[in-house]
Amino acid sequence: MTATRAGDRTGVHGRGRVRVLGRDDVPAAIRVLSERPVENVFVAARIRAAGLDPATLGCQVWGYEREGTLVALCHAGSNLVPVNADEEALQAWTEYAGRQRMCASIIGPSDVAMRFWHLLGERWGSSWSEVRDVRPHQPVMTIAGEPQVAPDPRVRRVTLEHWDAYTDAAVRMYTEEIGVSPVSGSSAGYRFYVRQLITSGRAFGLFDGDRVLFKADLGSVSGTVCQVQGVWLDPDVRGRGMAPAAMAAVVGLARSVVPTVSLYVNDYNRPARATYERVGFTQVGEFATIHY
């Protein structure tokens, strides 16, 4: 799902201007994204890989400029993700977004994402205000050194030999976490996404034969930071103390790619938070996610 904006491609709001960014804006966008590399790793990874042409990125990125200088941007795809946004930028993007919502979620620093959602709902009504789930407090955690737990040597990079099993585990994880299946209708798109994770060396698993007991992915990699996502332990083996050592192995594998490993987790998921803290992750911020 991608967000497209009908009508003019630019708009003047307050002291600044909103416009859809293009390929010539990549250096300025990277400059903004680099101000908070952990916070912005998802958007930075996408732009570094695909640029800013909507045809190649798969969605628009809205820029907010003051006096001709890009100061903030908003990834406007299936995830609406504000970057470096202040109140003025949020209000400008709210006007620019329009009544028709094309995203499936709003994700970002907690105070920013929550404010953006409220502004959109107040301005445009139920298409933006009515949601399936709101998670206002999701600690952002990082580790930039060796894990404090000995890694489980059985955790390894997944190969295409286990594509089917790993996809099934990923579907179970997503459905458990989000509450809906990622393969309702056709599974081809999600299977291709999982295949890309595997072939790029960003999927990690612990197997018992063909059965996936533990999985985790590097969802985003940019510069010196990566973001771990899709962490899942088979319910049949939970409570046996496997998670810390498995997660420590993921940290070691991830740090062979970049020095800083990040993730964010729901505040109410106390077992996961305890696992990450035991491994050596520390909290550096807080996200919010609004699911439609």
Which residues contact residue 8 at a Cβ distance below 8 angstroms, ignoring those fewer than 6 apart?
Answer: none
Q: Is the pLDDT of residue 258 over 70?
A: yes
Phi/psi at 12 (nearest 5 deg)? Answer: -95, 125
pLDDT of residue 11: 67
What is the mean pLDDT of the segment spanning 127-147?
Answer: 97
pLDDT tens for each residue of 80-116: 999 999 999 999 999 999 999 999 999 999 999 999 9
Which residues contact residue 164 at a Cβ distance below 8 angstroms, ignoring those fewer than 6 apart?
Answer: none
Q: What is the 3-state secondary structure (H, E, C) of 188-240?
A: HHHHHHHHHHHHCCCEEEEEECCEEEEEEEEEEEECCEEEEEEEEECHHHCCC
Q: Residue 22: helix, strand or coil by DSSP?
A: coil
* pLDDT-derived band at 15, boundaries 50, 70, 90: confident
pLDDT of residue 4: 38
Q: Is the pLDDT of residue 232 over 70?
A: yes
CB 141 within 8 A of CB 281: yes
User: Quick one: tokens of 283?
Assistant: 């909290």
Is the four-CA dihedral 271, 272, 276, 277 of positive or negative sign? negative
Q: Do domains 10-130 and 143-286 have the same CATH topology?
A: yes
Which sequence spans correspond to the domains of the chain?
A: 10-130, 143-286
Q: Which of 84-118 are b and which e, b meaning 16 or more Cβ less than 10 Å from the residue's Cβ?
A: bbeebbbbbbbbbbbeebbbbbbbbbbebbbbbbe
CA distances from 57 to 96, 105, 130 (A): 20, 18, 28
Q: Is the pLDDT of residue 9 over 60?
A: no
Helix, strand and coil percent figures for the chain, each rounded to 5: 40, 30, 30
Task: Tell me which CATH code domain 10-130 carries.
Answer: 3.40.630
Class of domain 143-286: alpha beta
User: Quick one: tokens of 1?
Assistant: 């799902």
| Entry pTM | 0.91
Residue 106: closest CA among 127, 75, 137: 75
pLDDT of residue 14: 64
pLDDT of residue 118: 98
